[in-house]
């Protein structure tokens, strides 16, 4: 993955008063632009939507992707009219996802992790288990071989890690406001995964089984909507396809 910044800085004596921002790109958007990080200068008073329009002009091949992006500034989802400040980090999150920032609850313990190593689901169960709860629900997402009539050879997962961890924690905190879930955790795998390997583990402990099933399902569904983690399908015919959150 390229780390070389692209800058529109012209002459050192002409950029006085301009704002410097970093733009992070992921998955198919990174692929379309050709880099994962842009260092740009914008006019004072510029907003996120001004930056979006400028990026479309600079990278017309990525217009479709920019048009579907939701934007985050300093790891926080924002609206298009959000003003930008010097030093901001702006991320284009694909695709547009509904829902605002969740209100946090106060669970006893939350565990969130991104890893390139195989997921130890039993260790996660052990971490969420507690004598106060009579039910522990574990969900494992694994790499399946066929999607309709297309055969998968392997997947590659990519994330905006800092924001992904924050969003996963916020989702678990929100879950604790809806169900009595004193201990809960999520581990998501990154990098290449073969068939049958576990890509995500969600575990919750609740007093009764019904709450456990409901909370675990809601957490998994919400992760797919809100968390900036993407997967690239690698098909047996040699083609690839990026799949975005919520799709």
5 vs 26: CA distance, rounded Å: 14
What pLDDT does 64 receive? 85
60 vs 66: CA distance, rounded Å: 9
Residues ≥6 apart with Cβ < 8 Å to 187: 111, 112, 113, 114, 115, 119, 124, 200, 201
Helix-helix angle 209-226:161-178, to 10 degrees: 150
Q: 109-243 sits in which CATH class?
A: alpha beta
Nearest to 115 by CA among 166, 185, 189: 189
φ and ψ at residue 232, rounded to 5 degrees: -105, 115
Tally the C-alpha atoms within 13 A of residue 87's C-alpha that lie toward its C-beta: 0
Beta-bridge partners for 61 = none
Residue 105 has pLDDT above 50, yes or no: no
Q: Where are the domains of the chain?
A: 12-93, 109-243
Residue of higher predicted confidence among 161 and 98: 161
CA distances to 136, 209, 242, 245 from 140, rounded to whole Å, are 13, 17, 21, 17
Residue linked to tokens 């992921």: 26
Q: What is the pTM of this model?
A: 0.76
Residue 206 has pLDDT above 80, yes or no: yes
Residue 1 has pLDDT above 70, yes or no: no
DSSP annotation string for 138-203 = EEEEE--SEETTEEEEEEEEEE-HHHHHHHHHHHHHHHHHHS--SEEEEEEE-EEEETT-EEEEEE
- For the chain, give the mean pLDDT: 88
CB neighbours of residue 67 within 10 Å: 11
Options 3.20.20.140, 3.10.20.30, 2.30.42.10, 3.40.50.720; which CATH number does 12-93 get? 3.10.20.30
Q: CA torsion sign, 196 to 202 to 206 to 209?
A: negative
pLDDT band with cut points at 50, 70 and 90 for residue 107: confident
Note whether 80 and 48 are within 8 A (CB).
Answer: yes
What pLDDT does 15 receive? 55
pLDDT band with cut points at 50, 70 and 90 for residue 245: low
Note whether 94 and 52 are within 8 A (CB).
Answer: no
Please tell me whether residue 66 adopts helix, strand or coil conformation.
Answer: helix
CA distances to 8, 41, 164, 167, 195 from 224, rounded to whole Å, are 35, 33, 11, 11, 20
């Amino acid at each position: 993955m390229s780390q070389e910044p692209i800058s529109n800085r012209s002459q050192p004596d002409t950029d006085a008063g301009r704002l410097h921002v970093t733009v992070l790109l992921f998955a198919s958007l990174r692929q379309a632009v050709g880099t994962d990080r842009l260092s740009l200068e914008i006019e004072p008073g510029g907003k996120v939507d001004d930056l979006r329009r400028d990026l479309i002009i600079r990278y017309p091949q990525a217009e479709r992707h920019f048009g579907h992006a939701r934007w985050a500034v300093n790891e926080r989802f924002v609206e298009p009219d959000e003003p930008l400040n010097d030093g901001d980090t702006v991320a284009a999150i694909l695709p547009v996802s509904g829902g605002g920032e969740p209100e946090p609850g106060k669970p006893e313990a939350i565990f969130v992790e991104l890893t390139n190593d195989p997921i130890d689901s039993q260790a996660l169960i052990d971490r969420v288990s507690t004598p106060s709860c009579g039910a522990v629900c574990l969900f494992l997402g694994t790499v399946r071989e066929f999607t309709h009539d297309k055969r998968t050879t392997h997947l590659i997962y990519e994330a905006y890690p800092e924001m992904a961890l924050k969003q996963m924690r916020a989702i678990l905190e929100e879950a604790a406001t809806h169900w009595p879930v004193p201990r809960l955790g999520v581990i998501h795998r990154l990098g290449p995964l073969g068939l049958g390997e576990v890509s995500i583990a969600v575990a919750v402990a609740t007093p009764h089984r019904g709450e456990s099933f409901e909370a675990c399902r809601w957490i998994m569904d919400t992760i797919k909507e809100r968390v900036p983690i993407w997967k690239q399908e690698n098909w047996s015919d040699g083609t690839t396809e990026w799949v975005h959150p919520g799709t």
